[in-house]
Amino acid sequence: MNSNEIFDMFNKGKLTGTGISFNDISWYPHSKFEGVEMKNIITSGETGGKFSFHLVKIAPYKKIGLHIHENQLETHEVISGKGACKISGKEFEYEPGTVSIFPAGIEHEITAGSEGLWIFAKFIPALC
């Protein structure tokens, strides 16, 4: 099974208790980073601002550039593809099964490899 097939299976998932299928939620381009798309699985409006969950896909060799979330703890679960994550200047390999946790205020960036990169990202409190 290739990376796209693995992610396609995840993308057909559902949010328990809501009947919402991930497939029914639209992708949108990231406002700052070219080649990055997001899908909001659950947002601030549905959680009272407590948390938000997002699917993120990064095109081959594109990246979410260096940035900081001042107020949110952020987690990544790599679903498919390969790449790298730089956290406070240290680089870590991203591959399926990798989990990263960034406390608020930690500088980080993510770069996709030749296959692209698919991530399940969570923010506490909600990003949007």
d(CA 36, CA 59): 6
Q: Tens digits of per-residue pLDDT, 5-42?
A: 777 777 778 877 777 888 889 999 999 999 999 999 99
What 3-state DSSP class applies to 4?
helix
CATH match for 3-124 among 1.10.3720.10, 2.60.120.10, 3.40.720.10, 3.40.50.720: 2.60.120.10
pLDDT in tens, the chain (128 residues): 666 777 777 777 887 777 788 888 999 999 999 999 999 999 999 899 999 999 999 999 999 999 999 999 999 999 999 999 999 889 999 999 999 999 999 999 999 999 999 999 999 999 88
What 3-state DSSP class applies to 75?
strand
**pTM of the complete model:** 0.90
